[in-house]
Structure formats: structure tokens, C-alpha cells
Structure 1
Amino acid sequence: MTDQHPHLDRLGALARAATVHLLPAEGDATPLWGSGFFVAPGWVLTAAHVLRPHLARDRSLIFRVRGQGVDSEARLVEWLLTDPARPVVPPEQDLALVRLVDDGVEHECVWLGDRAVRHTGALKVYGFRPEPPEGPRRRAVSWSVNAEINGHDDDEYGLIFKPDNEFPSGVSGGPLLDPDTGAVVGLIKSRRTQRDGGKAVSLAALRQFGDTYRKVMAAHDVWHGDEPVSDTGDNWVDLQSATAAGGELWTPADRRTALALLAALPQPPDTPTVELLAGMARSNYRWPGGTPELLTWRDGCGLLYEGSHPLSPFTFLRYLRLVEEYVRARCDNPDNPDNPDNPDNPENTDDTRALRDWTAKRLRRHPSRDLYAVVQEARLPEELRPRREDGPERVVIPYPGPGDGPVVAVLLDPVIGSNPTRFFWQIWLDSGGDGGGTKEPELYATDRSHHGALPGELVQALRTPLGRLFQLKDAERHPVPLEVALPAEYFDTPVHKWRFDDIAELDDAGHLGAHRRLVLRALARRGEPDKLWVDRWHAMASEQQFSAWRTPERGMSQSARRYQEAACGLIPVMCRPAGRGAGRAAMRLALESGHGVALWHIDGHAGRACPDACDLLYVKVGELFATLESLDELPDRLRLVRQEISERQPDRLWAKPLALLWDDPRRPLPAEETEPVDSPL
């Protein structure tokens, strides 16, 4: 490996200098927990399972980080574990970020590339193991080995080592150095039981840390941007650099400078913005495969490659120019909160000026001057230009129809024969033309358990996959809608009160119903829609005025004919639950008669006689309908009311228990699987 990579030994020295081991705080006569490595000043990345046995009960526990020239107290900042009691930690959850208590410690940091890929091929692996292996685990010694990744786990981030190496205890959490790129691309997860080889985690999983990832990567890029030199006189990026005569190649040094300049800018608002600008930089030629999470401007640079090779410098410089225009446009807009003249905004236009100046300087180094216009004439698309708000009223976002934008659907399928009730879940993404063309919904994630989840466990089960998908698809001030499909008898599940870590009251701004358009769908309507449903939907969509239809009607018997013949501007509204009693019968008739929109009180009365509070509910819903200029405004109008409840406006509390059926036959749910879903024995 050394012959093909003449700088590998020198890169290895830097990797060893950045590698540490973790151990209890109380002294030297204690066993090491595992390994880790510095990714930014004061920040150590390790495997979550290394810390779990010691921090599961108290995550604030202080411990030690020790390595070359480093012996410092540290604490856990964040890990990706959703259930610390789970026997086996899956690869996508086996990362933890640790912070030194002392900010003044000087140390080496590894280089992390900008591409979110899973490595295949040769590696150099580093860590610490106890010495002697057969004796008391008192002293940790540095360890390294040549290894190879020859497979990927079913998980999105799992890597499999070729079974040629034995991984001793203690090395979990150590870095994997790619000799071809000179970047750390993963960390050691585990060794195989009773045989050689093991597993690792791709560092693309770091993006799951969200805001913490943004903070750490900005610190990483700024540190490397200062071109630090180790005790050996080496620098990570200098060892990666190849000759690039005349500026015709995008070099590691170019990348280092660009990433450091991008790190100084305000973070992008969402993944779609980064994706759009990267696509424009590539002249709308899409990158192969799916789009990873794009949380920083550096992540957009990672899309500007063919395989492991960077595209033309013009592509990168065009992207930098578009990013600079995007940030500067928001700084120059007096109505935008990003404006530096706004006292609440700490950003400064000097950062965009530095990026613009370097982009122009780097452009002049390229000999093909006839292509300068590719960079100089780059302009923001209209949808990314800031708009001056017309007034204080909040903008209402129409609900997307077919091809109008992405929609996320969660299908909750009861396990047959389970008592108490359990659900298998699936998450589907209807891209709605997002990214070009109209596509069929795609299965994004599915329940891999053998028993399903209890209703109280659904939030925790969905928290990680839904959070990642929202992060991928939410646009600035336009969170993607969420549809939850259930059998009608479970329509009273309080999904609009869900949050990712618990059920919340509506005066808690963390709940889903106040943040995004959240609606229910009938699971029984999966697949091809029937004619009654389609005809009524199209007729309703052409209406301009809507009224609340009190169902069941007082003093009248319910019948299918009454529901079928109801005027298309009438929307069924129930002051009672939809899953039991008279409300269940009314919902069944509404669904069978083709109604695709309805509202109901999930905690309402079950008896036939209405209390006085019901009259207020119908009046308020009627007022809500009177604000509609079109039917597709209803989900967001209700969301705004829920948001006002979270802002503690007491006159909106009437909507706190309301659920909304929004079942669009033009976008039917994926058809039911042919195999029955049974409860395991």
C-alpha cells in the first residue's frame, strides 16, 4: 500500500496523533473503554456503544480522553442512540460526539471529506488496545492495521471489513483512513464473533447530528483552513495535493480554502436550497444515486464529483458564486431577518465579500477564459430570491396536488390478532415532481421488527427516520406535509400532538401539528380510488365557498343516500370521536359515499345528546371555512390555528382536539401488500 501511496506513512502519523482512547476519570489503574479521534478543536468522535455501558444511566458523567499530548476531562454532547437499552446498536445509531472540558487543549484533527459515500477498498485503521492483551487492562497502546472494506451492511451506513484482520478489544471508535483521498471515511464499530474481520460505520452518518454536525464541521473547516502544521511539519491537505498545472484541476488546497470560506457564512436554511444550487452548478446534470442530507454549504460541494474525482473548477466556482449571491441577497434585503443591519442578526457581509474575492482570484488562474461567463453570469433562480412581505398576515401554503411538491405519508397497519393493538409502520415519499418528473411514491423506511409497535411506542419508532426525511425535504418556511394513514377506527389517535420524543400539548411548539400541515388518510382506501370518491373530490375542488355540515344531523337518521347527495361545498364536521359510537358510523358512511375531507373532535362526547360546547365548535369551524379561498388552503389554515394555540392564544383553543381527514384520490396510497400481516407466535 505504501508504494502506491508515498505519503501514507506521513498521513498515518497525523491520524495517530488525532486518535485517542476514552477511559474513566478516576485514574490510570482503570481499563480503557474504547477509541475515538478528534474531528475539530475540542471535539472527539467515537462509537456510541463505547460510552453506552458507562453513561446510559447518567449522560452528564465526566470521563477522560487521552492521546498524543492530550490528557483531558470530557463529557458526552450527543449520541445517535434512540434506545440505550437495545441489545445491539445498529450502525446508523453507533456514533457519539464528545467535547473536552478544557477549550485550550491543542491537538491534531483528522481531515473529513465533503462527499457522503460508503467506502469500498483499502484502508488504514487506527485505535488503542490494552497492553498486554492477556494481562490486567491498565495501559493502552497505539494500534494500526492495513484493512479492506469489501461489503456494505443492509443499513445505509454499515461497512464490512474483509475477514483478513483481527480487531482487538479497545479499538472500537478508531478512525479509518482512505489512502487514496487522504481523508478519514469511517470508524470501527465491532469485530466479528469467533472469527476475523469486523464492521465499521461510514462517516456520512455524522449528518444525522443535525445542528451539532453543522457546528462541528464549521469548526473542522476553519481549523484546517488555517493550514495547521503538526510537530512533524506536515499538513493533511498538503499531503493530499497533486500537481495541477495552470489551475485546470480543483485541488485539495482549493477545496480547503473554499470550505473554510463557506464555513464562515450563515448556514443554509434547508436541504432543497443546497440541492438546487448544486444542481445549477452542474448545469442541471444530476449526480448518480439519491440525494443525501445537505445540512451545510460544504455538503453541496460533495455533490460536485464524478465518482471520487472532482468536476471542473468552473463547476465548484459556479456553486460558490451562487452561494455567495444567495447569502448576500438575504443580507441586502431590509425585510429579511438575515440582514446584518437587523440587531438580532450577528452575520456580516465581510464573509460574502471574502468568498467573492477568492472565487474571482481562483477563476483568473484557469487558462480557459472563454468559460469565465459560466461563473460570472451565474444568477439565483426566481424561487430563491428573497421577497418583501406585503403585510403582517401569515402566508397560507396550498396543499400539494399531484406533481406539486413532496408529501410524506406514514402508513400504520394494525398487526392482525395482536392484543393489545400493535402497528407495523411504513414511511413513503411522494416526490411530487421534486427533482424532475412525476414518480410513483417510494418506500423510504419500514418497520423491521417482528411484532410491531404499541401506540405509545410509535413516536419513538418514527422519530429518527421521519426526522431525517423531514430534514431532507423541508424547504425554508415550507415544511413538507405529513399524512398519517390509519384504519378509521383509529382516527382518534392524536397524531397532530405528536412530537419526536413524546406526546405534547398544543401549547408546546414542538408538536407536529403546529409546525407542518398534518392530515389523516383512510388506510382502507389504498390502491385504485373508486368513482364516488374521485367525482366528489373534483367537484369539491371547483367550489369556492364551504360550509360545516354537522354530522350526525340532529333529529335525522343517517343514510348512505344522504351522504352521497350532500352538496359538494358541505364538509362533514363531527363534535364527537370518529372511532366509536355515532361518530364511527358517520365516518364510515362519509368514506363509503366518497367524502375525502372531514373534521372531528377526537376527545368529544360519545352520546347522542350534544352539550352546549358543540355549538361553539361548529361556529368556529364555519368561521375557519369562511377564510378559505380554495379547498387546498384548509390544511394550512388549520395548522396556523394550531400554531396560534402553541403561541398561547386562548381564543383558538376550540381547535385543540380537531383532526382533519384529507384524502386526495389523485394521489392514492400505495396498494396493500398481498401477504397478510399477522401477529407472530
Structure 2
Amino acid sequence: MAATVRIHRPGVGYALDEPGTFLGSGFFIAPNWVLTCAHVALGGEGGEVTVVHGTGPGHDWSAVPASVAVTLPEHPGTAGHGNWPTPDLALVQLREPVDHDCVYVSERPAAYYGEGRVYYAGWTAMGGRLQALDGPLSVQGTLGGWSWGVQMRLGHNDLPPGVSGGPVIDPLRGEVIGVLKSRSDRGDGGTSTGIEQLRALSVPRDGIRSEHGDLYQAVFHAHDRYHRDRQRHPDSDRPTWADVQGRLGARPGRALSPDERIQLLGRLADLPPPVSTRGLLDVLDTLPDLRDAIPQPAPRGWRDGLGALYEGARQDGALELVLHYAMGVMAAERPFETPGTGDAEQALWEWVRQHAEGLGLRYRRALAQQRIELLRRRTAPAPLPPQHGT
């Protein structure tokens, strides 16, 4: 995978394929952001590491200095390398921007995956040199139960040293669903952590004042805009994630094609995030026919709410559920506004209107009436303060 990287100690030098400074694997989750394991990222010095990445198919490798922005848990204590506390995740930010590919991260929690087969990618030292490798793994259950899904148990393949921090991929949908955490000490396989565990990142104590004030929202908004913008403005001969998935016919949401998903997620990412998890859950609670319980950790971003719909919709009502959700997002309270918020809301409405064209006159009229009522509330003058006699 082009987005899979190596994590090294600072000062890697010019011999990039020598294993002396190698710490483990990782992958680009958003422009200039790498996701890996905490025990890998904190193997550097003072929270500083070097990220080694490919500059394209058949091209050279490049080393970029980077800093550990946050780890989960945030204060891991003195755990040993092989016994790092869950969820064992770290976000690493490059100190200078570079051009690179990003993985597509699933909106669906790993708890929805169930049993089956996944693929992994990473790096290891072989014959005195670092080598990329990948392969299949079988899903054998979880540690903590499917409803929580802290760690997925994987087997039926050897995981050599160095692959920790690499991506775990749903091969049917081409989506990253987890991060390789550890190797088994009693045979083949190991464990992985679901991407949704990043929802446990701390929330700003004084509320969200801007997108970049909440690291979780900032990273995933950047992820979703990256894939939307690549589809809109192709700048290379490499196919986009939506191109590849469109050819495979993968449609996990049943109602949306891969291109429709990234266009919707890009529009959601242009809006301010939910005021709080409770505010997002309130939007989900208003939806008709959402049958399944919401897996933990609770959703934090608009993309998380969309992922919760994929398993809970009736086959014949999936699109309506998505459109109801988008209308709820438009009407939700906002933690802040930007100069582009109004245009972003209008773009989301246009997406809803276009996708409702085949759903019947009564349904389209109801959506249009909701939009009119929302605009009326937005433009209504604020009530005058009460007058008190003297």
C-alpha cells in the first residue's frame, strides 16, 4: 500500500533501508498525519520521530521529521513494549508538508465487521534490510466483546517484528478498519485495534471553538476532504479509492455508491462538527427505522453517525435514512460558524435534493418543506429582550 510508512528514530540518515533506527509501521490517515501504535511512536526521543514514505510507484523514498501529537492512552505509564495498554494508538504530524497518498478509513466500527478475512500491510527487517510485506489474516473474535471491540483477534498468518502500527484492511471494501497492535506470543497472528477507538481522544474542555481545536474532528475532516477533492480534481494517473471500489462494486451502505459516499462525507466535513456527542446522538434518535444499537465508543463526528446507519437501515429504506440524517445535520446546533458555513450547508442540501429525485413527489415535498422551515428559522430576527418598567 502506497500510504503505508515506516517510523524511525530521529536522525535516520541517508541509508533509509537499514534497520538500525527502525521502530515500526504506520500509515497516512490524512494529509501530513500518520496513525500508528503508541508503543511505536514513543520509541523515539522526546516525542520526535522520522517518517519514511514512498514518493510514488517506482520512485525514491523520503524521510520527513515528525512529532507525536497525541497518544491513547494519553498517559501510558511504564508499560513494557509488549504489554502496552489499549488502545495503543498515536497520531503523528509531519513537521513539513509532503505529497503522499492516504488510506480510506471506514465509517463503520470494527464491531460491525464480524468474522471473516482481513489484510494487513507493514514493514519488517529481513536479511539486514527493511522490506515491505502484506498478507491475509483471519478474524477470530475480539478481546472485550464485539459491542466494545477494543481489540480484534487475528490468526492464520505470521506477523513478524515491525508490522505493529500498520493498517488492517477490509478486502471487500478496500477500507482500513484497524491498526495492528501486537504479535501473538503463542503462535501465529496477533491483535488489532479498531480505528473507532480514536473517538476516545480528549474533547476540548471549553467546547469546540474551531475545527482545529478538536484533533479528532480536524484529522477526519481532512481525511474526508482529501478523498472528495482527489475525486473532483484528479492530479495523477493513479486511480482514486472511489474509482477502484466502483469497479469492484463494493457498496457497504447499500444506498450509496463509493463516489456518492465520498461526496457526501466531503460535504459533511465542510460543516462545523456536532456540538457534542449528545447532540449527534439526538440527531440519530430522530431517525425513523434506525433499529440497531449504536456501538461504543459513541460517535463524535458526522461521518461516525453516517457509519452507524449502514447496519441499521431496512434494505428498502436505506437512502431515505441517509437523507433524513443529512437534513438533521443541517438543522443541528453548531459549535461555531465560519465564512463558508452557509455555502457548505447549501452544498449539502443540493446533494440531498439530487438524491431524492427518484423517491416520489410526497417525499420530495416533505424535504423541501423541511428546508424552507430551516431557512426561515435561520433568518428570523432574534426576539427582543423583555422590557421592564421603571
* TM-score grouping bracket, smaller chain normalisation: 0.7 to 0.9
- The aligned amino acid for 2:292 is W
Q: 2:226 aligns with which of 219, 223, 226?
A: 223
TM-superposed deviation, 1:203: 0.8
Q: 2:99 aligns with which of 97, 106, 120?
A: 106
Secondary structure in structure 2 of the residue aligned to 1:128: strand
Q: 1:252 aligns with which of 252, 258, 273?
A: 258
Secondary structure in structure 2 of the residue aligned to 1:99: strand
Task: Report the counterpart of residue 350 of structure 2 in structure 1.
Answer: 357
TM-superposed deviation, 1:143: 0.5
CA offset digits 1:283-306 (Å, max 9, x no partner): 154423546422211111112122
Task: Report the counterpart of residue 296 of structure 1 in structure 2.
Answer: 301
Distance 1:125 1:89 in 2: 20
Distance 2:190 2:381 in 1: 53
Secondary structure in structure 2 of the residue aligned to 1:302: helix
Distance 1:308 1:181 in 2: 19
Match status 1:321 vs 2:323: no
Distance 1:308 1:122 in 2: 24
Write the mapping of 1:35-46 to structure 2, written as runs, cut at 5 A. 35-46=25-36
TM-superposed deviation, 1:200: 0.8
Match status 1:129 vs 2:124: yes
Change (3 A) 1:201 1:308: farther
Task: Report the counterpart of residue 281 of structure 2 in structure 1.
Answer: 275
Larger radius of gyration: 1
Task: Report the counterpart of residue 10 of structure 2 in structure 1.
Answer: 25
Secondary structure in structure 2 of the residue aligned to 1:54: coil
Change (3 A) 1:194 1:283: closer
Secondary structure in structure 2 of the residue aligned to 1:320: helix
Change (3 A) 1:390 1:96: farther
Task: Report the counterpart of residue 66 of structure 1 in structure 2.
Answer: 52
Change (3 A) 1:72 1:389: farther
Matched positions, count: 345
Secondary structure in structure 2 of the residue aligned to 1:287: coil
Distance 1:209 1:233 in 2: 33
Distance 2:126 2:350 in 1: 53
Contact 1:175–1:188, Cα closer than 8 Å, also in 2:
yes
Write the mapping of 1:179-218 to structure 2, written as runs, cut at 5 A. 179-210=171-202, 211-218=214-221
TM-superposed deviation, 1:251: 1.7
More contact order relative to length (CA 8 Å, sep ≥ 6) = 2
- The aligned amino acid for 1:128 is W
Change (3 A) 1:126 1:312: same
Q: 2:241 aligns with which of 236, 241, 246?
A: 236
Contact 1:47–1:173, Cα closer than 8 Å, also in 2:
yes
Write the mapping of 1:425-440 to structure 2, written as runs, cut at 5 A. none
Distance 1:125 1:131 in 2: 18
Match status 1:115 vs 2:115: no
Q: Considering only aligned residues, what root-mean-square deviation do their CA atoms show, in Å? A: 3.0
Moved more, 371-380 or 186-195: 371-380
- The aligned amino acid for 2:122 is G
CA offset digits 1:388-407 (Å, max 9, x no partner): 68879xxxxxxxxxxxxxxx
Write the mapping of 1:336-347 to structure 2, written as runs, cut at 5 A. 338=336, 346-347=339-340
- The aligned amino acid for 1:66 is V
Secondary structure in structure 1 of the residue aligned to 2:29: strand
Task: Report the counterpart of residue 90 of structure 1 in structure 2.
Answer: 85
Task: Report the counterpart of residue 207 of structure 2 in structure 1.
Answer: none
Distance 2:366 2:139 in 1: 39
Change (3 A) 1:303 1:378: farther
Task: Report the counterpart of residue 47 of structure 1 in structure 2.
Answer: 37
Question: What is the percent sequence identity of the aligned residues?
Answer: 30
Contact 1:270–1:295, Cα closer than 8 Å, also in 2:
yes
Contact 1:278–1:301, Cα closer than 8 Å, also in 2:
no
Change (3 A) 1:83 1:318: same
Contact 2:279–2:332, Cα closer than 8 Å, also in 1:
no
Write the mapping of 1:591-610 to structure 2, written as runs, cut at 5 A. none
Change (3 A) 1:354 1:234: same
TM-superposed deviation, 1:323: 1.4
Distance 1:276 1:129 in 2: 46
TM-superposed deviation, 1:353: 1.3
Write the mapping of 1:386-397 to structure 2, written as runs, cut at 5 A. none
Contact 1:270–1:294, Cα closer than 8 Å, also in 2:
no
Unaligned runs of 5+ in 1: 1-15, 331-336, 393-681
Task: Output the TM-score relative to the length of structure 2.
Answer: 0.79
TM-superposed deviation, 1:372: 2.5
Distance 2:290 2:365 in 1: 18
Write the mapping of 1:624-663 to structure 2, written as runs, cut at 5 A. none
CA offset digits 1:608-635 (Å, max 9, x no partner): xxxxxxxxxxxxxxxxxxxxxxxxxxxx
CA offset digits 1:14-60 (Å, max 9, x no partner): xx1000011122223523100000010000000111123334xx22x
